[in-house]
């Protein structure tokens, strides 16, 4: 009889752990969906297209912004952004470009939705870029 009780308690313990993990996942998924909807709404209100589907945004950014909110004002993040704002050539032919105004606005909107507490750090650094309307705007 004692062995049966141990097995039953063990099975109930495993089911409890699975239930807790599943509940947390569903709750996080619902928050991520809500954040993705908020982002898409804010982008559309600003006249910008959503960069991806709601499902993709939910998977990439989750409910906390993921890598986007991981110290966005840091020097490494700025260097990565600088490397993306070039003409597309490599090595010697590579030149900086005027950043698209919409690209910068869209990035700030993403930060305002997922990590508004970090927005001021980035907004100060954005002023260093030369931006202009581009052909796609």
Q: What is the pLDDT of residue 119?
A: 83
Q: What is the pLDDT of residue 34?
A: 94
Q: 85: which residues sit within 8 A by CB, 6+ positions away?
A: 96, 97, 99, 129
Is pLDDT at 50 greater than 60 in this prediction?
yes
pLDDT at 70: 83
Between residues 47 and 19, which one has the greater pLDDT?
A: 47
Is the CB of residue 67 less than 8 Å from the CB of residue 37?
Answer: no
C-beta neighbour count of 43 within 10 angstroms: 20
Say whether pLDDT at 35 is over 80: yes
The residue assigned the tokens 């508004």 is: 116
Range name among 30-39, 93-102, 111-120 with the lowest pLDDT average: 93-102
Q: Is 48 helix (H, G, I), strand (E, B) or coil?
A: coil
8 Cβ contact list (under 8 Å, min separation 6)? none
């Amino acid at each position: 009889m004692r062995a049966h009780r141990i097995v039953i308690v063990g099975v109930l313990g495993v089911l409890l752990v699975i239930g807790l993990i599943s509940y947390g996942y569903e709750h996080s998924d619902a928050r991520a969906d809500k954040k993705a909807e908020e982002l898409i709404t804010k982008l559309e209100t600003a006249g910008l297209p959503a960069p991806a589907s709601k499902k993709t945004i939910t998977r990439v950014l989750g409910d906390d912004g993921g890598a986007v909110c991981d110290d966005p004002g840091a020097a490494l993040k700025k260097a990565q952004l600088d490397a993306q704002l070039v003409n597309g050539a490599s090595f010697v032919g590579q030149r900086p470009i005027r950043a698209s105004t919409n690209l910068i606005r869209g990035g700030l909107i993403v930060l305002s939705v997922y990590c508004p507490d970090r927005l001021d750090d980035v907004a100060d650094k954005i002023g260093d870029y030369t931006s202009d309307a581009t052909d796609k705007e």
